[in-house]
Structure 1
Amino acid sequence: MNKRRVGKSDLYVSEIGLGTMSLGTNEQQGKEIIDRALDSGINYLDTADLYDFGQNEEIVGKAIKGRREDVILGTKVGNHWEPGKEGWYWDPSKSYIKSQVKESLRRLQTDYIDLYQLHGGTIEDPIDETIEAFEELVQEGVIRYYGISSIRPNVIREFVEKSNIVSVMMQYSLFDRRPEEEVLDLLHDNHISVFARGPVAKGMLSNKGEQKVEEKAQNGYLTYSYEEMKEMVQNLQTFATDDRSLQAISLQYVLRHPALASAIFGASSVEQVDSNVAMLDALDLTDNLYTQLQQITRPIVYQKHR
């Protein structure tokens, strides 16, 4: 599997990565999914302390025991929760970040995190304090690099200007082309990589696209109406062939921009891992097809999330 460099770091990640949020709470099933991903050449695993309130990190930690050297491990922090209590609140403070990294390390059964990410954020946050926390963790050797998980252009610009982030994770797909308008070129110009989450748009950009539109988009999706979603999926399906599924096309599309390090998919079964890995055998995306895909969908801009 092709690997891409993350920013100016010495991290080289597989061009598709496994997001573990959908693993569920069955340890054996989670291990099987992670093993299949790693055996298929995927080396980037993305989790967060919030997923199943720490249980996801525990499952990931157990699954990679004995294989830690094969994994580029990313997790996230910033959603303040306490064991046994319902709910959480946003907390990007230095004290919280530095206390929670210890908990993530314990749950993951490792003494370092390759990529530690702020799990959200707004322009009102104490950004300088947040950056200071991450910089200290790098100096202490418990994290190798840090990034942010954000779709907010104003927040991204602040971190680009003030910090040493190597990556930004953001939602990006053929149906959510907002990053193309404001942030992809900015990040590429500053040698910061992008991890694309949701590249198959909740399954609506897969071979089950029409079924998923019925399930997920009855009230529309982003600024698209249900009718628009249905029409776009039908049009996109005409490009799918035995040699290149719509899922493969969708992953290839987001990976086209040079800012991209990896497209992150979720999986709740081994079969879903296999269907995403199948993109490796697909025909390459041509310039002509790339342009045609863009004509079927349309660019949209960030309005609420600034």
Structure 2
Amino acid sequence: MLRKNRIGQSSLFVSEIGLGCMSLGTDEKKAVDIVKKAIDIGINYLDTADLYDFGLNEAIVGNAIRENRDNVILATKVGNRFEEGKSGWDWDPSKSYIKSAVKKSLHRMQTDYIDLYQLHGGTLEDNLEETIEAFDELVDEGVIRYYGISSIRPNVIKEYVQKSNIVSVMMQYSILDRRPEEQILDLLYDHHISVIARGPLAKGLLTDKFTEKINGSTYLDYTTDDLTTFLPKLKNHFENKSLNNVSLRYSLHHPAVAAVIPGASSMNQLLENVEQVLAGPLTDEEYLWIQSNSKENVYSSHRD
């Protein structure tokens, strides 16, 4: 059975592996089947965004959970303003836009509340006070239960920690992207704010299929040569474990992390991810070996 972790100091308890819905695709039957299967096998945390397929992803998720809404922790995001017929989008964290966009998300997902509403980005140039006020008002109105941010910018995260009532921060975090470890994970843990870790499998590089994924790839400050050297070393050290298990469990090891949300574009991927989370945690010794043998990445911008 999947363990459930509390998000921050909220009343939300989410399965330690959620479903990142961005990669579900636009084949509605296939996507709905994946979401329903996820719920059947114990995943209760679904993460989407109004931007994914310009609202279609929210609509698909909404269709999939109609009969199960109260058993699901539903998370979506706001801040990227788009209009039908236009190919791109603009960043808009204004109070007026957030309060209008939430109504469209609710309509698409066929629900009257959102469990976790997240700002989909953010910069120090934003009017943070206005953005925070919008989220606080939505909580007071009962439209959303809690809110968080999705960000990899340390200076932005620190501002929201100090000025807002966020319960979570979604960020990219994996063995190949250890940037949050420099200061953010401990900071959030100390303030009782949870991390939702996206990208724990690093686009498939941190799975047993890594040999076919490298193929000239780079990842942050890992060159192709770095990946060609490190990934086999990692696999050889954990010869009795799947790299999927090692990678998902690495991202879950820090106590600030409430859930990992790998995407799944097929039923097989979904089942594999859940199976590997259930295969068990890393020991402290295994965790420290990975830290000693991988790069200690740090954020190169958006710092204090």
Judged with a 3 Å threshold, the aligned counterparts in structure 2 of structure 1 residues 283 and 76 are, in CA distance, closer, same or farther, namely closer
Q: Which whole-Å CA distance do the structure 2 matches of 1:145 and 1:283 have between them? A: 30
Distance 1:280 1:171, change over 3 A: closer
Structure 1 position 112, deviation (Å): 0.2
Q: 1:85 deviation in Å?
A: 1.5
Q: Provide the rounded CA distance (Å) in 1 between the counterparts of 2:302 and 2:213.
A: 25
The residue number in structure 2 matching 1:33 is 34
Answer yes or no: is 1:168 the counterpart of 2:165.
no
The alignment status of 1:117 with 2:125, answered yes or no, reads: no
Tell me, in whole angstroms, the C-alpha distance in 2 between the residues paired with 1:240 and 1:250.
11
Matching residue of 1:197: 198
Contact 2:48 2:76 in 1 (8 A): yes
8 Å CA contact 1:239, 1:246 repeated in 2 = no
| Amino acid of the structure 1 residue aligned with 2:233 | N
**Aligned-pair Cα RMSD in Å:** 1.1
**2: CA distance, partners of 1:91 / 1:66:** 33
Determine the C-alpha separation between the residues in 1 that align with 2:83 and 2:128: 23
Secondary structure of the residue that 1:92 maps to in structure 2?
coil
**Structure 1 ranges of 4+ moved more than 6 A:** none
**Residue of structure 1 in register with 2:299 after alignment:** 302
Report how far residue 209 of structure 1 moved. 1.1
1:26 & 1:240 partners in 2: Cα distance? 37
Whole-Å separation in 1 of the counterparts to 2:281 and 2:195: 21
In the alignment, which residue of structure 2 is the partner of 1:250? 247
Unmatched tracts of structure 2, length 5 or more: none
The letter of the residue matching 1:103 is: K
Correspondence 1:50 to 2:48: no
Deviation at 1:110, TM superposition (A): 0.3
Q: Aligned to 2:230, what secondary structure does the other structure show?
A: helix
Give 1:224's aligned amino acid: Y
In structure 2, what residue type is equivalent to 1:247? N
CA distance in 2, matches of 1:240, 1:107: 44
Q: What residue is the counterpart of 1:291 in the other structure?
A: 288
Q: Percent identity?
A: 61
Question: In the alignment, residue 90 of structure 1 is paired with which amino acid?
Answer: W
Alignment-derived partner of residue 63 in structure 1: 64
Q: How many residues align?
A: 302
User: Which whole-Å CA distance do the structure 2 matches of 1:53 and 1:161 have between them?
Assistant: 32
SS where residue 249 of structure 1 aligns?
helix
CA-to-partner distance for each residue in 1:202-232, whole Å, 9 max, x for gaps?
01000111211216x1xx2111211001111
Helix, strand or coil: the match of 1:125? coil
Query: Of 276, 279, 283, which aligns to 2:276?
Result: 279
Q: SS of 2:23's equivalent?
A: helix
Matched, 1:224 2:222: yes
Question: CA separation in 2, counterparts of 1:31 and 1:283?
Answer: 28
Residue identity in the other structure for 2:226: E
TM-score by length of 2: 0.97
Once the two structures are superposed, what CA deviation does each residue of 1:144-183 show, in whole Å capped at 9, x if it has no partner? 0000000100000000000000000000000000000020
Alpha-carbon separation, structure 1, partners of 2:296 and 2:278: 28
Q: TM-score, normalised by structure 1?
A: 0.97
How many angstroms does 1:305 deviate by? 4.0
